[in-house]
């Protein structure tokens, strides 16, 4: 296979001053792409800020002969999203890909979670992703081309204790991707989501239940939890070679897999009157049975699936 190039491509990466985002920026620049390195340069909880982190990565790219500009906006306002999009267009003339990667973390059990912490997490992961995506999506519509990567998390898709605000936002990001995949298709804009696992400064803050058991569990693939093991799938999703949309990928310990929302065959209840509660109780195992399922491509697709099921019954 020929090398996947980013020559003449422009990629915006939020939170690219460290952790996973830095690895995406370096690899895309190495492949010829111009990169907007956005980073607030703050603490893992999203407080404070400095130009240092974004500057360091942009300088690293330029000293290796690549093209990069730094941007220090916190993505928590729509104005910041506009400034980030403008930085890309003013510096490089277009935007081919956006990697929504910036994130903060504030963990607490539901009973202890403050509204401040909840809002701070939603402001970056959910509103922040909206803020940056909206102007860039608009630019991509004008261009008739685009690739957008949304960063979700197993904490939201599968669940992890003490991450209610974070998990809700990360599941919300998938909802945004689902809708923009539909809106983007006619304009050549492909949208996919990622659920990564990697030892970054953020991972150190996660309360993995039974930490000792987790350590034993991850021991066989510990070295593959380096952030660079997540990089290739993200670079692929941001590239012209990518042809998938509306997908969610897990990148964990060297294993890349697809995560999907499936619809079980379920139970075809009466259509002349609603099922009784007792009928549901009697069939709950059939309803829950996942041995036969489909993956709807959209809300409308679910209706097609049902219509086919009824026609065959």
Ligand X SMILES: NC(=O)c1ccc[n+]([C@@H]2O[C@H](COP(=O)([O-])OP(=O)(O)OC[C@H]3O[C@@H](n4cnc5c(N)ncnc54)[C@H](O)[C@@H]3O)[C@@H](O)[C@H]2O)c1
Contact footprint for ligand X (CB under 6 A): 14-15, 17-21, 38-42, 44, 46, 53, 74-76, 101-104, 124, 128, 151, 153, 196-198, 200-203
- Report the residue number, 44 or 179, with the smaller CB distance to ligand X: 44
Q: Which two tokens stand for residue 69?
A: 């500009």
- Report the residue number, 43 or 286, with the smaller CB distance to ligand X: 43
- Report the residue number, 124 or 238, with the smaller CB distance to ligand X: 124
Alpha helix ranges (H) inside 93-185: 115-122, 129-143, 154, 164-184
* Block residue for tokens 């996942």: 290
CA separation for the pair 133, 81 (Å, rounded): 7
CB of 68 to ligand X, least distance (A): 15
- Report the residue number, 76 or 178, with the smaller CB distance to ligand X: 76
Alpha helix ranges (H) inside 144-276: 154, 164-184, 211-218, 231-238
Element spanning 261, H or E:
none
CB of 259 to ligand X, least distance (A): 12
Inter-residue long-range contacts of 184-188, CB under 8 Å, 24+ positions, other chains counted: 184/137, 184/140, 184/146, 184/148, 184/245, 185/245, 187/140, 187/141, 187/144, 187/145, 187/146, 188/140, 188/144, 188/145, 188/146
166 as an active site residue: the answer is yes
Exactly one of 24, 72, 145, 166 is catalytic; name it: 166
Q: Which two tokens stand for residue 159?
A: 């669940």
- Report the residue number, 40 or 176, with the smaller CB distance to ligand X: 40
CA separation for the pair 247, 224 (Å, rounded): 23
Q: Which two tokens stand for residue 55?
A: 């500057």
Q: How many CA atoms lie within 13 A of 173 on its CB side?
A: 39
Are 35 and 68 a contacting pair, CB within 8 Å? yes
Instruction: Indicate the residue whose CB is closest to ligand X.
Output: 19
- Report the residue number, 99 or 189, with the smaller CB distance to ligand X: 99
CB of 179 to ligand X, least distance (A): 19
**Count of H helices and E strands in the chain?**
11, 10
- Report the residue number, 53 or 148, with the smaller CB distance to ligand X: 53
Q: Which two tokens stand for residue 105?
A: 């973390």
Point out which residues pair with 195 in neighbouring strands.
250
Q: What is the DSSP string of 5-44?
A: --TT-EEEETTTTSHHHHHHHHHHHHTT-EEEEE-----T
Are 306 and 265 a contacting pair, CB within 8 Å? no
CB of 32 to ligand X, least distance (A): 24
CB of 169 to ligand X, least distance (A): 9
CB of 291 to ligand X, least distance (A): 30
Catalytic residues: 166
């Amino acid at each position: 296979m020929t090398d996947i190039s980013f020559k003449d491509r422009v990629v915006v990466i939020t939170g690219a001053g460290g952790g996973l985002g830095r690895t995406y920026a370096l690899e895309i620049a190495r492949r010829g792409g111009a990169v907007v390195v956005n980073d607030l340069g703050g603490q893992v909880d999203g407080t404070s800020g400095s130009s240092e982190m974004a500057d360091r990565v942009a300088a690293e790219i330029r000293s290796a002969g690549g093209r990069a500009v730094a941007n220090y906006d916190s993505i928590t306002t729509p104005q910041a999203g506009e400034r980030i999009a403008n930085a890309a267009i003013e510096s490089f003339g277009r935007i081919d890909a956006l990697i929504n990667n910036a994130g903060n973390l504030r963990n607490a059990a539901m009973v202890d979670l403050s509204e401040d912490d909840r809002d701070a997490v939603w402001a970056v992961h959910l509103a922040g992703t909206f803020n940056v995506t909206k102007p860039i999506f608009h630019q991509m519509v004008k261009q008739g081309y685009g690739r957008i990567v949304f960063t979700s998390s197993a904490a939201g898709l599968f669940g992890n204790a003490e991450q209610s605000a974070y998990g809700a936002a990360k599941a919300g990001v998938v909802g945004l991707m689902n809708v923009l995949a539909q809106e983007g298709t006619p304009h050549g804009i492909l949208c996919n989501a990622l659920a990564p696992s990697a030892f970054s400064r953020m991972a150190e803050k996660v309360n993995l239940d039974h930490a000792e058991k987790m350590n034993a569990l991850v021991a066989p693939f510990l070295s593959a939890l380096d952030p660079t093991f997540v990089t290739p799938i993200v670079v692929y999703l941001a590239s012209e070679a990518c042809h998938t949309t509306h997908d969610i990928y897990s990148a964990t310990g060297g294993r890349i897999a697809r995560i999907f929302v499936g619809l079980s065959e379920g139970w075809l209840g009466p259509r002349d009157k609603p099922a009784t509660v007792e009928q549901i109780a009697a069939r709950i195992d059939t309803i829950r049975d996942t041995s036969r399922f489909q993956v709807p491509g959209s809300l409308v697709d679910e209706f097609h699936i049902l219509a086919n099921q009824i026609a065959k019954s």
